Amino acid sequence: MCQNHSSSPDDTSHLPRRNFLKLVGAAAFGLSFADRALAAEPALPRPQNAITPDAALARLIKGNERYVAGVAKRQDFSTDRQAMTTAQNPFAGVLSCADSRVAPEYTFDAGRGDLFVCRVAGNFAEPSSIANFEYGLAVLGVPLILVLGHQNCGAVSSTISAVKEGTEFPGHIPTLIDAIRPAVETSMKESGDLLDNSIKNNVLRNVEALKTASPLLDKAVKAGTLRIVGGIYDLDTGEVKILS
């Protein structure tokens, strides 16, 4: 369908940026994933990923159950390789620790194009990762974000050492310590294992940081089009326990 438009300098409808702003506006005003998917161009390469936040969490849990049981699906990456050359529509975002023993795609038995993953030692929500998830929400239509901590996290353990014993670390490592420190200080006031409590509190703090991140994530959470939860990966079993 063709329409005539004025050629005024303010007419930028031909620019790709307009699609981005349209999607940002959709996320900010709480439109459903289906509405955003219809607005997206080109067509979704993985239509099975256009699901609700609750369905996305259930899918992660089922995938983790397969991983734990050792019955992961066989992935044929050749079937949708061409479809994903121009677009992506992952069904979940994951903020994971950079630990080499924790790989979200394996952990949740997910295929290529299923997960939008940000990884940083200590799995904390820094400005760049928040920006990534805003992009995942507004442009890719991600309905779920999982903050994934794990058992015996070295970044958290190092932070405990810095807080309790004054241990100093070289280079830029102190930036990791500073981000995790509040969770450790909270856990020092609690009973139980300090490392386990610190890992849990660090996950919960960053779930809250993402939930309240304005102007996009917080509005989508309130509108029910985005769900943000936490989980902890058990290195012994591979099981992920959902916290919230």
132-175 tens-digit pLDDT: 999 999 999 999 999 999 999 999 999 999 999 999 999 999 99
What is the share, in percent, of the chain residues with pLDDT greater than 70? Answer: 82
The whole-number pLDDT of residue 43 equals: 79
The whole-number pLDDT of residue 137 equals: 98
The pLDDT of residue 16 is above 50: no
227-233/240-242 β-pairing: antiparallel
85-133 tens-digit pLDDT: 888 999 999 999 999 999 999 999 999 999 999 999 999 999 999 999 9
Question: What type of residue sits at position 73?
Answer: K
Cα(123)–Cα(162) distance, rounded to whole angstroms? Answer: 18
User: What per-residue string of b and e applies to 26-49 under the rule 16 or more CB within 10 Å gives b?
Assistant: bbbeebebebbbeebeeebbbeeb
Each domain of the chain, given as residue ranges in start order, spans: 17-74+81-242
22-31 tens-digit pLDDT: 444 544 444 4
Q: What is the band of 18 on the pLDDT scale with cuts at 50, 70, 90?
A: very low
Cα(233)–Cα(104) distance, rounded to whole angstroms? Answer: 10
Q: Taking all residues of the chain, what is their mean pLDDT, rounded to a whole number?
A: 86
The pLDDT of residue 221 is above 70: yes
Architecture of the 17-74+81-242 domain: 3-Layer(aba) Sandwich (3.40)
Reply yes or no: is the peptide bond before residue 215 cis, omega within 30 of 0. yes
Plot region of 168 (φ>0 → left; ψ -120 to 50 → alpha; else → beta): beta
* Higher-scoring residue by pLDDT: 14, 99: 99
